[in-house]
Amino acid sequence: ETGVTQSPTHLIKTRGQQVTLRCSSQSGHNTVSWYQQALGQGPQFIFQYYREEENGRGNFPPRFSGLQFPNYSSELNVNALELDDSALYLCASREIGSGITGELFFGEGSRLTVL
Amino acid sequence: AQSVAQPEDQVNVAEGNPLTVKCTYSVSGNPYLFWYVQYPNRGLQFLLKYITGDNLVKGSYGFEAEFNKSQTSFHLKKPSALVSDSALYFCAVRDKAWAAGNKLTFGGGTRVLVKP
């Protein structure tokens, strides 16, 4: 049990639609990041948020966006869905006081299928 | 740019035998290395990490990993595998240039199958 919960667990969308995925982190975990895990691959970093601002992004286009809220929850939004967006989306959080050596705590993910 | 390689897609081992999952890395400077495990349809669970100090790191569920700087490796080991260890294992390195420290670069994963 990592204390990181994600919703929904599964969802199906069609190409061109928009999706919002949600994450609730542990109290005190004030930095959150999102990863995309395509089938058969390792997770890839999308972006991270600290104090409700994006402060780092991986190699993902602007149609991937996010929000972080003061209550340790966050959202990942994906616009104009493409077939290749089908993946497991993982939220991960960390207590900022743990420093750069602290491990990430992952949720169980939201599996998105784009048809 | 940093990278992680897991050269084996799958490792098969009999229950009770030693288990090794290989990982090599490429980073500038000293690495921060992690192992995570993923069970079917689940998220990632933290196993252990190497930050500094002793090259042999002990983690959860009886796993340990050996850091070898000269070989740029961080292999995961378990002396006696259990059927319940069957899962997908990921090695990862943290980008120290990121102030908030949440960017991990993962290997492609190694599927471990422990047979009774």
pLDDT at A31 over 60: yes
Interacting residues of B88 by C-beta distance below 8 A, sequence separation 6+: B37, B38, B39, B109, B110, B111, B112
pLDDT confidence bin for A3, thresholds 50/70/90? confident
pLDDT score for A82: 97
What is the distance between the alpha carbons of residues B102 and A66, in angstroms, rounded to a whole number?
15
Residue B27 tokens, joined: 């980073």
B102 vs A contacts (CB less than 8 Å): 31-33, 45, 48, 56, 92, 94, 104
Contact B99 A55 (CB under 8 A): yes
The larger pLDDT score, comparing residue A50 to residue B113, is at B113
Average pLDDT over residues A52-60: 91
Q: Quote the pLDDT of residue B101.
A: 66
Residue segments in chain B with a per-residue pLDDT below the cut of 50 = none
Residue of A nearest to B48 (CA): A103
Q: pLDDT category, A47, cuts 50, 70, 90?
A: very high
Q: For residue range A63-111, list pLDDT tens digits in order.
A: 999 999 988 899 999 999 999 999 999 999 987 777 767 888 999 999 9
Cis peptide before A8 (omega within 30 of 0): yes
Task: List A residues 49-108 in contact with B (Cβ-Cβ < 8 A).
Answer: 50, 55-56, 58, 90, 92, 94, 96, 99-108
Are B105 and A4 inside 8 Å of each other by CB? no
Q: Do B90 and A107 touch (CB under 8 A)?
A: no
Determine the pLDDT at residue B98. Answer: 61
Which one of A44, A94, A106 has the shortest CB-CB distance to B101? Answer: A94
The token pair at B19 is 């288990």
d(C-alpha A65, C-alpha A49), whole Å? 11
Contact B109/B7 with Cβ under 8 angstroms?
no
The pLDDT tens digits of the residues spanning A89-101 come to 999 998 777 776 7
